[in-house]
Structure formats: C-alpha cells, structure tokens
Structure 1
Amino acid sequence: MIPQLVTVRRRRRDGRWSRLFVPVLPVLLVLSPLLLLAVLVALVACLVFRVSAVGALRGTGQLLCALPGTRFEIEHGRTAVSVSVR
C-alpha cells in the first residue's frame, strides 16, 4: 500500500508549530509527467550501469510499501521539523 498522507510540522519562531498536510495521490497525479520522465532516466541509468531494471523497480516498490508509518524529526538550534507518513 502506498502512502496516503504526508504531514510536515515546522516550529515557528514564536515556538508554535505549523502543520502542512500533503495528500500523496493528487501530488502524484499532478507530477506524473515528471514521474514518467524520471522512470525513463532511471531505466537508461540501469542500462548504463548494468543493473537489473526489474530488480531496481522491485526495490523501489518495496521501499514505497514500507513508507507508511515512517516518522522522523530533525531539530537544530531553534529550527525543528517533523515529518510523518501515513
């Protein structure tokens, strides 16, 4: 199952958090022409470096299936960012 929603939280200067919800499917639909171009470039790269294109595609699919439930937080000084994938 591919991720459905990405939540990005950022701490403002006044200490409050601002939240941004990014639905994955509409973003993929809007960026699909670029996604198609990226897949073609990846296939050419697989041919150039003699990597199995099927194996690379399978690995990418497994990575996408493992994303839901992922959460990471970055904090550096007064800047903090939290990303959650559902």
Structure 2
Amino acid sequence: MMPQLVTVRRRRANGGWLRLQIPVLPVLLVLLPLLLLAVLAGLVACLATRVSPVGALRGAAAVLWALPGTRFEIAEGRSALMVSVR
C-alpha cells in the first residue's frame, strides 16, 4: 500500500513539539514533473551501468510500498526530530 500521510515532529526551543502532517498524494501531484525527470535520469543511469531498468523500478516500488509504518527518530542534545509514515 502506498503511504498516505507523513507526520514530522520537531522539538522546539521551549521544549514543546511542532507537528506537521503532510499528505503524500497532493505533494506527489505537484512534484510529478520532477519525478518524471528523475525516472528518466534513473533510466539513463541504468543503461549506462548495465543494470536492468525493470529490476531497478521493481526494487524502488518495493521500498515505496514498505514505507507505511516506518518511524525515524533522531535526537541530538536538545534537538529532536521524528518522522512517521502512515
């Protein structure tokens, strides 16, 4: 299943959390022209390095579909960042 929502939480200087919820589909539609250029660049890179473009696309799709339920948490001193993919 494709991810639907990305939640980003960042700890503020006062100790509170700033939370952003980003819907994936509208962002994907806005960035679609750049995504098409990235796919073309990936295709050229696959052909230049003799990697199967279909296999590379299949691997990228597998990573995308495995993202829901993933959480990244980074803490360094008083700073903290959490990214959750649903």
- Asked if 1:6 corresponds to 2:15, the answer is no
Equivalences, count: 86
**For the residues of structure 2 that align with 1:39 and 1:72, how far apart are their CA atoms?**
26
Q: Please give the per-residue CA displacement for 1:32-52, whole angstroms capped at 9, x wherever unaligned.
A: 000000000000000001000
**For the residues of structure 1 that align with 2:70 and 2:41, how far apart are their CA atoms?**
27
Q: Which runs of 5+ in 1 are unaligned?
A: none
Q: Look up the match of 1:63.
A: 63
**For the residues of structure 2 that align with 1:38 and 1:61, how far apart are their CA atoms?**
14
Q: Look up the match of 2:50.
A: 50
Q: Look up the match of 1:25.
A: 25
Q: Look up the match of 1:34.
A: 34
Structure 1 segments (4+ residues) deviating >4 Å = none
The alignment's TM-score, normalised by the length of structure 1, stands at 0.99
- Aligned-pair identity in percent equals 73
Cα RMSD over matched residues? Answer: 0.4
Q: Secondary structure at the match of 1:3?
A: coil
**For the residues of structure 1 that align with 2:20 and 2:76, how far apart are their CA atoms?**
20
- C-alpha deviation, 1:72, in angstroms: 1.3
